Chains A and B, each alone.
Chain A
Amino acid sequence: MRLHYGRFLELRRGLWQRFEQNLHKARQHPRRLNYEDLEALTFDYRQVLHDQAQSRYRFPGTEADYLLRRLAVEGPRLLTRDPTSLGAGPVSFFTRRFPSTFREHLPLVAVVTAAFLTFGILGLALATYNPALGLSFVGPEAEAGLRSGRLWTEKLTTSIPPAVSSSSIASNNMTVSLTAWAGGALAGLYTLFILFINGLLLGSVIGLTLHYSMAGPLFEFVAAHGPLEITVILVSCAAGLVLARSMIVAEDRPRSEVLREGALDSLVLLGGSLPWLLVLGFVEGFVSPQPEIPVGLKAALGLSLEALFLLYALNPFTQRTRHG
């Protein structure tokens, strides 16, 4: 039986107008909505959606079709929210969501660490057997400093106020972490590049300082902040690779679903580790360059920070379930 357009309007227009008015009111004062209002609105939306499907095929181009298409698009703005969630608040995020995600992706963090060590050993070997090549990695300023028996980090105590170096270091480290994470969106290639460059650079620096007998001062400088800084950057690289893996490997699941899950997990890893760089910025700006602080104390601080991060990330006090 063919539905007549006039009859369609006569039967359904009241519902559309009611839905439009209620939607408008709900948007104006969303907090005044109670459960019954919301249920009625949702029920009406469902009917509007069905009418839209009908009008789309039976009465295309008509006013009813136009109005229903608009209402079908307007409705979800108020009535639906994407289920993607980071957890029930910041406390839950840091105490449950991040640790469970970190544990889930621990094998990838281990792979990233192994790759970083490999690149580091490569840099160390290059700088040891060919110091000239190693010097080309660290730049002319550091090269001149090393030749005259000074570390380039000395300027942190001589020419730059600690507050400035601290905030610059924190923002620089966060940029590196964010770039390592976002690089995952380029199928992980840029993340791997950052991992390679940083590993090679660190290995070269160690090799060069050993060559110029400056390893002691370097260790003294990095002892307080180095271990955790490297860990956080490696976690960011692992987050980038989680993102990349979701772009490449989908198996038989819908790609959009896998992408969303990967993006969310990688965001959790990044969000849980990034705040530590603020702490490290402070340590690197105020503690690391100070010659008055004994090296033993700096090393103890560095190891304590690392242990604290690992305790927080692995969180043995929560159940080992996905997403807490």
Chain B
Amino acid sequence: MATSPTEQHRSTGRSLRGRDPEDPIPSDQILGLDNIALELPIAGIGSRGLAVTFDYLCLTLLLFTIVAAVAFAADGPLDSGLMIGSLVLLVFFVKITFFLVQELAFKGCTLGKKMLLLRTVGTSGGTASTAQLIVRNLLRPIDLIVAAPLMALDPKARRLGDRLAGTLVIHDRPLMERASLGRVPAGWGPREVAVAESLLARRGELDPDQLRHLALRLVRLVQRDDPALLQESPVPEVDPVAALRQALAAS
């Protein structure tokens, strides 16, 4: 008798969404539009721990400032019942909403996350919704206890609030300028291209002798595979980096 995939998985005790060496889409894979795999730069426990520590320092400072400001405004001891009552409520709401308000206002960032270039996003990398941000932030007190082991064990480093809200925290680094090749010698594969691009992108950081040596080796490869590209280049032995850039029309 034929059984459905669900029944087969149940009978063998294997999870439908668990890791399976034969499964082309592992459970920790993040899928974007048209189910194309995305490589989101997931933030780990270290950077997130630093960000939240900074945020709690800011919260402490803010609460201290509020209490000091109210005391200063009262111009003496806080003897008005209404003032103390308002202060109690204000402190409560600031504590509850500190993280949430920031994430709503800065689209997934708090001050700590901004400092460490992190951002909260939905599971497919999109902007997290208001409901998601509320859920993940209201669960913060529970996460103070259980977040660390959960994040350490999860390939996407999600705490409990992230799991229930369907969010991720990713690195939010700006796009960097990189070398880009205008021409590619015939027969070059991605490996050779990546080496040339990486060398040209890092030419300002490398030791001049090493740079010259590596550039010369690449120029010789160009000479071997597609000598026509070197026709208008400077003499490689004099300035191999310039010759390589010219040959590959690198930006």
Is there an interface contact between B38 and A73, defined as CB atoms closer than 8 Å? yes
- 8 Å CB contact of A178 from B39, B96, B107, B130: B96
- The verdict on A63 contacting chain B, using a C-beta distance below 8 Å, is yes
Is there an interface contact between A84 and B131, defined as CB atoms closer than 8 Å? yes
Inter-chain CA distance A84–B123, complex, in Å, is: 11
Inter-chain CA distance A185–B135, complex, in Å, is: 11
Residues of B within 8 A of A199 (CB): none
Is there an interface contact between A164 and B88, defined as CB atoms closer than 8 Å? yes
Interface size counted on chain B using CB atoms at 8 A: 66
- The verdict on A222 contacting chain B, using a C-beta distance below 8 Å, is no
Question: 20 interchain pairs (CB within 8 A)?
Answer: A61-B190, A61-B191, A67-B180, A76-B122, A78-B127, A81-B122, A81-B126, A81-B127, A82-B126, A82-B127, A82-B132, A171-B92, A185-B142, A246-B164, A254-B17, A260-B165, A262-B164, A264-B131, A267-B131, A267-B135
The 8 closest A-B pairs by CB, nearest first: A161-B81, A6-B184, A80-B126, A163-B85, A82-B122, A61-B194, A171-B92, A167-B85
Is there an interface contact between B141 and A182, defined as CB atoms closer than 8 Å? yes
Interface string of A1-31 (1 = CB under 8 A from B): 0001110010001000000100000000000
Which B residues, 131 to 175, have Cβ-Cβ distances below 8 Å to chain A?
131-132, 134-135, 138-139, 141-142, 146, 160-161, 163-166, 170, 175
- The verdict on A41 contacting chain B, using a C-beta distance below 8 Å, is no
Inter-chain CA distance A58–B184, complex, in Å, is: 15
Interface string of A149-163 (1 = CB under 8 A from B): 000000000001111
Residues of B within 8 A of A85 (CB): 129-131
Min CB distance A188 to B, Å, is: 12
Residues of A within 8 A of B (CB): 4-6, 9, 13, 20, 45-46, 49-50, 52-53, 56, 58-67, 69-70, 72-86, 160-168, 170-171, 174-175, 178-179, 181-183, 185-186, 190, 243, 246-247, 252, 254-256, 259-260, 262-264, 267, 270-271, 285
Residues of A within 8 A of B6 (CB): 252
Inter-chain CA distance A193–B40, complex, in Å, is: 39
Is there an interface contact between B184 and A9, defined as CB atoms closer than 8 Å? yes
Min CB distance A244 to B, Å, is: 10
- 8 Å CB contact of A77 from B16, B125, B161, B181: B125
Known: A174-B92, A185-B160. 12 other contacts (CB 8 A): A9-B182, A59-B190, A61-B191, A66-B178, A70-B175, A73-B40, A76-B121, A80-B124, A161-B85, A163-B84, A163-B86, A186-B146
Residues of A within 8 A of B193 (CB): 5, 59, 62-63
Inter-chain CA distance A66–B197, complex, in Å, is: 11
